[in-house]
Amino acid sequence: MLTTPQPSSAPARPELDFKWPAEGITRAPYRLFTDPEIYQLEQERIFRGRSWNFLCLDVDIPKAGDYRTTTIGETPVIVTRDHDGEVHAMVNRCAHKGALVCLKKQDNVANLTCVYHAWNYGLDGQLKGVAFRNGLRGQGGMPSDFDVAKHRLQPIRTEKFCGMIFGTFSEQVENVEAYLGADMAQFIKRNLDRPLRVLGTHSQTIHNNWKLYAENLRDSYHATLLHTFYTTFKVNRLDMDGGIILSDEKWHHVSFARRAKLQEAAEYSEAKVHSASYESALEGPGLLEAWEEFDDGITHSIQTVFPNMCIQFTLNSLAIRFFAPKGVDKTELFWIYLGYDRDSEEQSQMRIMQSNLTGAAGLVSLEDGCINEFVQRGTRNDPECASFMEMGGRVAESEKNSRATETAVRGFWQGYRGIMGF
């Protein structure tokens, strides 16, 4: 029996009868994907604990009065921009009786007003007005010592990094750049540190625990096996030059690959725009028309940020995905397809066309949505059994020359065990 340490702010909780297998991070007990008690503990220790969570993009709320709603774990959150251009985030829960205050995905408003009893908040979450505060005709109303300054929407610490707005409930966690670490921060800057343009969004419900998706993103081993499209049409092969970089705590990662022929072909094309048909077997090669975007030759990358986001760059298809837990066996997966403000119309169209692979209704995302549910269904009745993850070794270390490894999945579990106290 393992007694789990309690964060100082957390209420005392009965002991959780859970012990990680002796094999360590090469095993993940299936109970982690089905146990409601562990799920609740994750809300406390991860999502309301020492983690930074992607909230939205800076360009999602460009004007004063804009708001977006999202979640940190299952906690509903509002992100606003005030009249000074400041961004604020707060829990979407009225300080009166706890109703949701903002009901839409996004809007532009002068203030935030709860529909239940019309308590009224500024864009920074400060309470401004209370309906019938002084009662009616001298009757009723709030006690004379009622003070609006003592009631506000619970604030959330925010920080911007490369056009993204992150939020945390923790006062202790370091700033976002330090949380990412030097290698991770640098790769995000490579991809996002310039004005962004949103090309489209969508979301889908997947019927599996959120951590199965976190694993799947770090699982470079499956890419060319499950996604047979990649090899059939010669889009991505595991023997391409590439590798995995883990952050210091191992819980974030970048998986990268270089598609050599893209580089070679680009040298022959003055405009550096060409059809990938020279090596693909597609009848409609326009799907993969690409141009070389960076000098480092990296054409494929997936980067995760613990706990629940990733940035993908496949050829020119740039997207952010984040996945919100909606119960122990349900997750909502959000996609934001991106380009840069400087893109030409032709480049935007090429990015959108490529998203047919790893995007809405794309072959790759369809398969990942299915496979995580297959794991959920295959494991839910045997909580004491565990997965086996020894491909590429038994530790979580960067592997700069191969993607035939589960090192990043082990890295996820190493970070998870640390923050959960398991």
Site for ligand FES, rule CB under 6 A: 94, 96-97, 99, 114, 116-117, 119
DSSP E strands, 218-330: 241-246, 253-258, 273-274, 290-291, 298-305, 309-314, 317-325
As given in the structure block, the two tokens for residue 345 are 């119309």
* 60 binds, options Fe ion, ligand FES, none, Cβ within 5 to 8 A by partner type: none
Contact partner, 340, from Fe ion, ligand FES, none, Cβ < 5-8 Å per class: none
Q: Which is nearer to Fe ion, 227 or 351 (CB)?
A: 227
CB of 34 to Fe ion, least distance (A): 22
Distance CA 245, CA 184 (A): 8
When CB distances are held under 5 to 8 angstroms depending on the partner's kind, the choice from Fe ion, ligand FES, none that residue 370 binds is none
User: Under DSSP, is residue 315 helix (H, G, I), strand (E, B) or coil?
Assistant: coil
First to last CA, the chain: 11
Does position 215 bind Fe ion by CB under 5 A? no
How wide is the angle at C-alpha 348 spanned by C-alphas 346 and 354, nearest 5°? 100
User: Binding to Fe ion (CB under 5 A): which residues in 67-106?
Assistant: none
What the block records as the tokens of 16 is 């959780």
Nearest to 226 by CA among 378, 377, 410, 375: 375
The Cα–Cα gap between 401 and 220 comes to 12
Least distance between ligand FES and beta carbon 93 (Å)? 9
The phi-psi region of residue 268 (left if phi > 0; otherwise alpha if psi is between -120 and 50; otherwise beta) is alpha
Q: Is the Cβ of residue 95 or residue 176 nearer to ligand FES in the bound state?
A: 95
Q: Closest approach of Cβ 99 to ligand FES, in Å?
A: 4
CB nearer to ligand FES: give 96 or 202.
96
Residue 302 or 350: the one with the smaller Cβ distance to Fe ion is: 302
Which of ligand FES, Fe ion, none sits in contact with 368, Cβ below 5 to 8 A by type? Answer: Fe ion
Count of residues in the chain:
422
Closest CB to Fe ion: residue number:
368
Quote the least distance from Cβ 71 to ligand FES, whole Å: 19
**Hey, is 5 helix, strand or coil?**
coil
Cα 158 to Cα 102, 121, 155, 320: the distances in Å are 19, 19, 9, 19
CB of 115 to ligand FES, least distance (A): 7
Evaluate whether 183 touches 245 at the Cβ level (below 8 Å).
Answer: yes
- CB of residue 217 to Fe ion, shortest distance in Å: 8
**In terms of CB distance, is 77 or 94 closer to ligand FES?**
94
152 is written with which tokens?
Answer: 């506000």
CA distance 32 to 29: 6
In the list Fe ion, ligand FES, none, the entry touching 394 (Cβ below 5 to 8 angstroms by class) is none
| Among the listed residues 44, 215, 368, 399, the single contact to Fe ion using CB under 5 A | 368
- Binding residue count for Fe ion, defined by CB under 5 A: 1
Quick one: 66 or 368, whose CB is closer to Fe ion?
Answer: 368
116 binds, among ligand FES, Fe ion, none (CB under 5 to 8 A by kind): ligand FES
Please report, as ranges, the residues that interact with Fe ion according to CB under 5 A.
368
